[in-house]
Amino acid sequence: GLPEEVHAEKPLLFELYSDNKIEVDVINGIINNEFDFLFNYFFTPMAGQTLILFNNEIWNKAVEYCKYNEIHTQEVCSIDDLKAW
């Protein structure tokens, strides 16, 4: 007979958005599995181009790079913490 077809498991990131909203369960899965992961999104108008990181080591390196190159950064725990200027 024919060999059984093998399909790769669907990547977790394919489940990240549902109805144009980010799925909290997927984000929690990324955090709980300690993936070294970030994503880039344009949160308009307050945040603009935004990086969301799940690994402090990556963030710390990015902050050091920005300080060294005199690039302004701002850190908040939630997009909701941002205010219109």
Tens digit of each residue's pLDDT (9 = 90 or more) over 27-84: 787 777 777 666 677 776 666 777 676 677 877 888 899 899 998 887 777 767 766 5
Question: Furthest-apart CA pair in the chain: how many Å?
Answer: 67
- Helical (H) or strand (E) element with 66: helix 56-68
Three-class DSSP category at 20: coil
Report DSSP state, residue 16.
S
The end-to-end CA distance of the chain, in Å, is 67
pLDDT band at 26 (very low <50, low <70, confident <90, very high): confident
CB count, 10 Å around CB of 50? 16
